[in-house]
Amino acid sequence: MSGHLRIVRGDATSEEIAALVAVLAARRTAPEAPAAPPARTWRNPARQMRKPLSPGKSAWRTSALP
């Protein structure tokens, strides 16, 4: 058996060695890319628009607010 894997103690079957190699190969995946930063909403022109008016108690007060 040549390569980087060597059985030191015991007698492993070819299926056990294949399972070990599969687990080690799965752990060696590339790291995930960092998440995209959140969108900056302070410069969004829709932020300056006022919210839709809803009828109800104190609706006249909120009609003057942006």
User: Phi and psi dihedrals of 27, rounded to 5?
Assistant: -70, -20
Q: Is it the case that residue 1 has pLDDT exceeding 50? A: no
Predicted TM-score (pTM) of the model is 0.37
CA-CA distance, 42 to 8, in Å (whole number)?
Answer: 62
N residues, the chain: 66
Q: pLDDT class for 31, splitting at 50, 70, 90?
A: confident
State pLDDT tens for residues 41-65.
Answer: 778 887 778 777 677 887 777 777 6
Q: Domain extents for the chain?
A: 1-30
Instruction: Write down the mean pLDDT value for the chain.
Output: 77
